């Protein structure tokens, strides 16, 4: 019997996961994708860096490219890949009509937003899957199987009991600030535990699997501008690893508009990204992984009669500086990995009755540029102050559960384009302040205290952890889906990205969306006539 023909829409972390495990299960897999990639100069700069090992040249080239980009603000909202904005290109033209009161990024790139992500990857805690039709236990074997495509760096430590021990590769060396913070937290372990605070090494998707000469992280310190060494996981690497194999087809330049289920098949309809030419292809089964915004729109256009608006749920981001009592020497010249150094979980009902997740960052160029931009003209007269700040300051990036976060309403124009409107959650700001106070109360353990008055609570979407728009339910109705991500009324169409998570845990989103995608394709394979 010939292999069943399945389609995966999208090549971000969820799509690449679905494609890989479907291919492993013996299906004939076609990925239809926006497929944008970096300009040839980016590859040339990387090659030059490997050849010359000259960091200054790389940073100069990246800076020049970023300066010419329309997305050049030095803040996290617009993180570029080695100075290139290809990750976000064409999304305004093709997908989005308007965005109001929200901070949203979508992507039409090969690898999607994983080209620029922060790689923080913690499984969902079992207490955050209460009420889900799919529990942490159901996901556990799939976190394990993800080890075939993604390395997770970290250690077995205080986080392992609550989140599982999915650490597949040794942790990279910490920066001075990260090491000092973890040490002071460990010194006050018992006192912090009484306040519901647990902590450990950050779990980040960094390793040698796809890295240049399999070296893994080489501590070059360029993490925030884009890893030139391929040590930070990018879903594009999974797609590249499948290209050229039998039963695998990757088609870039496709913008899927909707799907139409027929008796034994599904039609996938869309237009070319470059030429707007219509396409209409038929598959046995379709897995939609176009990122929460795009997937929700594709499903909304495909299920007649249910209409929009549809609510996307956010995991509220908040950011504040931690002024450490003891400074370190010259953080700017330190060449260590600059991704999240430590994860700190707060489980204290006086702060929030859901877990609050904090990621601690040491000195990094992107944060410092943002601080300098905020200081404005003062920065030119205060290099000493900036240097002092860099030696003492760490950044705590907090995330809340979607129960206490804003939402983004998605509706479609008559032509099918997407309109997004943010609705902040007033409780979020209060919980962010409670968290800051908890850190203040625990200042000995943190070895420092929050800087008074400094707290950033951006609009919904800024966390980039959006989902739960088509939530899986045991008995789905409306825009809900079953435990295989199928909207009510469809049996061969599965949504497989964060849009189907029943809620968004604070503890990062992508890793759990990938585990759930692996689970759905595994179980859907058993429904298929010709699964091998
Ligand atoms: C700066 C930044 C930092 C982040 N840091 C973290 C982090 O540390 N930890 C974490 O968990 N998450 C993080 N995220 C979020 C993370 O990147 C996303 O959750 C993740 O990439 C979503 O994966 P996805 O596969 O669902 O979709 P995406 O990555 O959005 O990919 C979408 C894919 O679908 C394709 N596509 C879109 N629309 C269509 C269409 N109509 N037709 C065909 N193809 C289409 C695109 O080409 C792309 O391949 C971050 C995001 C950003 C921007
Ligand atoms: S330090 Fe960062 S940029 Fe450099 S190899 Fe390691 S992960 Fe990549």
Which position has the token pair 């702060």? 351
What are the residues whose beta carbons fall under 8 Å from the beta carbon of 409, sequence distance 6 or more?
309, 310, 311, 312, 420, 421, 422, 423
CB 292 within 8 Å of CB 499: yes
Best of 7, 8, 12 for a ligand 1 pocket test (most atoms within 8 Å of beta carbon): 12
Q: What is the pLDDT, as a whole number, of residue 511?
A: 98
Closest C-alpha residue for ligand 2 atom 4:
220
**How much of the chain exceeds pLDDT 70, in percent?**
94
CA of 291 to the centre of ligand 1 (A): 5
Tell me the C-alpha distance between 260 and 309, whole Å: 20
| pLDDT of 2 higher than 80 | no
Closest C-alpha residue for ligand 1 atom 35:
10
Mean pLDDT of the chain: 92
Nearest Cα residue to 476 out of 461, 495, 459: 495
Higher local confidence (pLDDT), 133 or 68:
133
Q: What residues are in contact with ligand 1 under a 6 Å CB criterion?
A: 9-15, 32-34, 79, 105, 107-109, 112-114, 116-120, 254-256, 289-291, 294, 464, 497-498, 508-511, 513
| Mean predicted confidence (pLDDT) in 129-157 | 95
Residue 76 binned pLDDT confidence (cut-offs 50, 70, 90): very low
CB 290 within 8 Å of CB 15: yes
Tokens representing residue 28 in the block: 């004939």
Q: How far is CA 283 from CA 4, 31, 243, 261, 518, in A?
A: 8, 11, 19, 10, 20
- Three-state DSSP at 532 gives coil
Q: Which ligand is nearest to the CA of 116?
A: 1
Comparing 7-21, 59-73, 96-110, 392-406, the range with the smallest average pLDDT is 59-73
User: pLDDT for 282-333, tens place per residue?
Assistant: 999 999 999 999 999 999 999 977 778 999 999 999 999 999 999 888 777 7
Tell me the C-alpha distance between 311 and 401, whole Å: 15
Q: What residues are in contact with ligand 2 under a 6 Å CB criterion?
A: 206, 217-223, 227, 229, 231-232, 337
Residue 372 binned pLDDT confidence (cut-offs 50, 70, 90): low
CA of 337 to the centre of ligand 2 (A): 5
CA of 186 to the centre of ligand 2 (A): 26
Tell me the C-alpha distance between 283 and 7, whole Å: 6
Closest C-alpha residue for ligand 1 atom 9:
120
Q: Which ligand is nearest to the CA of 108?
A: 1
Residue 462 binned pLDDT confidence (cut-offs 50, 70, 90): very high
Q: What is the pLDDT, as a whole number, of residue 170?
A: 80
Assessment of whether the complete model's pTM goes beyond 0.85: yes
Q: What is the pLDDT, as a whole number, of residue 389?
A: 79
User: pLDDT for 392-408, tens place per residue?
Assistant: 999 999 999 999 999 99
Closest C-alpha residue for ligand 2 atom 8:
227
């Amino acid at each position: 019997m010939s292999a069943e023909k399945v389609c995966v829409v999208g090549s971000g972390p969820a799509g690449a996961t679905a494609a890989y495990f479907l291919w492993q299960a013996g299906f004939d897999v076609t990925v239809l994708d926006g497929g944008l990639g970096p300009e040839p100069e980016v590859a040339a700069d990387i090659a030059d860096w490997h050849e010359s090992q000259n960091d200054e040249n790389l940073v100069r080239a990246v800076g020049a490219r970023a300066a010419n980009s329309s997305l050049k603000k030095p803040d996290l909202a617009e993180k570029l890949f080695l100075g290139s904005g290809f990750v976000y290109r064409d999304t305004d033209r093709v997908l989005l009509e308007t965005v109001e009161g929200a901070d949203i990024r979508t992507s039409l790139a090969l690898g999607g937003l994983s080209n620029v992500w922060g790689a923080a990857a913690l499984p969902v805690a079992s207490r955050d899957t209460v009420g889900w039709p799919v529990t942490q236990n159901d996901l556990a074997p799939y976190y394990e199987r993800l080890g075939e495509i993604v390395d997770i760096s970290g250690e077995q430590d205080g986080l392992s009991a609550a989140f599982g021990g999915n650490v597949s590769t040794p942790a990279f060396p910490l920066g001075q600030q990260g090491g000092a913070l973890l040490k002071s937290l460990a010194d006050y372990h018992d006192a912090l535990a009484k306040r519901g605070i647990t902590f450990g090494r950050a779990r980040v998707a960094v390793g040698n699997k796809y890295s240049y000469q399999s070296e893994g992280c080489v501590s070059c310190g360029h993490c925030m501008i884009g890893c030139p060494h391929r040590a930070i996981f990018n879903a594009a690497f999974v797609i590249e690893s499948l290209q050229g194999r039998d039963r695998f087809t990757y088609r870039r330049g496709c913008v899927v508009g909707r799907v139409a289920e027929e008796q034994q098949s599904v039609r996938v309809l869309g237009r070319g990204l470059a030429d707007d030419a219509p396409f209409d292809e038929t598959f046995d089964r379709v897995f939609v992984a176009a990122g929460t915004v795009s997937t929700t729109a594709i499903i909304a256009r495909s299920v007649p009669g249910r209409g929009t608006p549809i609510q996307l749920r956010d995991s509220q981001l908040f950011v504040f500086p931690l002024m450490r009592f003891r400074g370190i020497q010259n953080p700017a010249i330190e060449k260590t990995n600059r991704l999240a150094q430590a994860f700190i979980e707060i489980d204290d009902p006086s702060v929030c009755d859901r877990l609050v997740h904090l990621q601690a960052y040491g000195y990094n160029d992107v944060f410092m540029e943002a601080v300098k931009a905020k200081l404005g003209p003062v920065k030119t007269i205060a290099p000493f102050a900036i240097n002092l700040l860099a030696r003492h300051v760490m950044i705590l990036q907090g995330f809340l559960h979607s129960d206490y976060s804003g939402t983004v309403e998605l509706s479609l124009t008559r032509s099918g384009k997407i309109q997004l409107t943010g609705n902040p959650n007033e409780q979020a700001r209060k919980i962010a302040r409670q968290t800051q106070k908890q850190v203040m109360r625990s200042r000995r353990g943190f070895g420092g205290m929050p800087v008074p008055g400094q707290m950033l609570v951006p609009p919904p979407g800024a966390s980039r952890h959006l989902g739960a728009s088509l939530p899986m339910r045991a008995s789905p109705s409306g825009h809900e889906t079953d435990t295989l991500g199928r909207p009510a009324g469809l049996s061969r169409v599965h949504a497989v990205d964060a849009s189907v998570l029943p809620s968004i845990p604070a503890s990062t989103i992508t890793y759990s969306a990938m585990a759930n995608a692996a689970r759905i394709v595994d179980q859907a394979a058993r429904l298929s006539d010709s699964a091998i």
